[in-house]
Amino acid sequence: GQSLEQPSEVTAVEGAIVQINCTYQTSGFYGLSWYQQHDGGAPTFLSYNALDGLEETGRFSSFLSRSDSYGYLLLQELQMKDSASYFCAVRNTDKLIFGTGTRLQVFP
Amino acid sequence: NAGVTQTPKFRILKIGQSMTLQCTQDMNHNYMYWYRQDPGMGLKLIYYSVGAGITDKGEVPNGYNVSRSTTEDFPLRLELAAPSQTSVYFCASSYTRDSYEQYFGPGTRLTVT
């Protein structure tokens, strides 16, 4: 079977750093992606890790450890606009398998 | 580029009715996908296509059908709508299988009563 686990909700204050974890169990693995989705909106791509290590894109970073079947998304200098749901997704040949998402609420 | 467009934005169906959700992309992407997202949940893959004339089932294909006659269009057909199909439907596309980014349309919010 295939499954991805994420915390259901995370809260933080503006300017803080937050880490959203994702553990996965899949029959095939080609990479771990992260998507952001604001309420009522469509998912938008944030980052992708195919190899172990840290990928940095501005305030967002993503990490992957294939041996631990684990990754995380790190959001720095949080802003109110970062309040959204964040999904990890595993690429399995032609498809993406999505986690159930982590709702991030940023407070002033 | 308009990207991925979906119509309609909203629709209410009665049980047993049928409808087609339209999806068009203008990025010349080979791969297209249909997902459904239930409230507070992740996206579940319904069907996908790796090119014109080729489609395959995803995780939750029952109650749906698709076709891919052109690169641009990937309509999703609901036959005999049921309340369990109440959901938000997203269409997405990517250039190749190795493309790690999928581009999503704005979604269709469907209610079946």
Per-residue model confidence (pLDDT) at position B1? 77
Per-residue model confidence (pLDDT) at position A101? 95
> What is the number of CB-based contacts under 8 A between chain A and chain B?
51
Nearest to B42 among A91, A93, A98 (CB): A98
Per-residue model confidence (pLDDT) at position B40? 83
Residue A94 at interface with chain B, using a CB cutoff of 8 Å: yes
Comparing alpha-carbon positions, the chain A residue that sits nearest to B37 is A100
Residue B11 pLDDT level (bands cut at 50, 70, 90)? very high
% of chain B with per-residue pLDDT over 90 = 88
Q: Tell whether the model's pLDDT for residue A30 goes beyond 90.
A: no
CA gap B90, B48 in Å, rounded: 12
**AA identity, residue A71:** G
Q: And the tokens for B79?
A: 């036959």
pLDDT, mean over chain A: 94
Q: And the tokens for B17?
A: 């009715």
Residue A70 pLDDT level (bands cut at 50, 70, 90)? very high
Per-residue model confidence (pLDDT) at position A29? 85
pLDDT digits (tens, 9 = 90+) for B50-107: 999 999 999 999 999 999 999 999 999 999 999 999 999 999 999 877 677 899 999 9
End-to-end alpha carbon distance in chain A: 41
CA gap B56, A51 in Å, rounded: 28
Tell me the mean pLDDT in the region A38-60. 94
Q: Tell whether the model's pLDDT for residue A107 goes beyond 90.
A: yes
Per-residue model confidence (pLDDT) at position A17? 97
Per-residue model confidence (pLDDT) at position B75? 98
Helix (H, G, I), strand (E, B) or coil at B85: helix
pLDDT digits (tens, 9 = 90+) for A74-90: 999 999 999 999 999 99
Per-residue model confidence (pLDDT) at position A1? 67
Whether residue B97 and residue A94 make contact (CB cut-off 8 A), yes or no, is: yes
CA gap B31, A82 in Å, rounded: 29
Whether residue A101 and residue B42 make contact (CB cut-off 8 A), yes or no, is: yes
Whether residue A45 and residue B101 make contact (CB cut-off 8 A), yes or no, is: yes
Tell me the mean pLDDT in the region B20-26. 98
Q: And the tokens for B34?
A: 């249909």
Whether residue B45 and residue A31 make contact (CB cut-off 8 A), yes or no, is: no
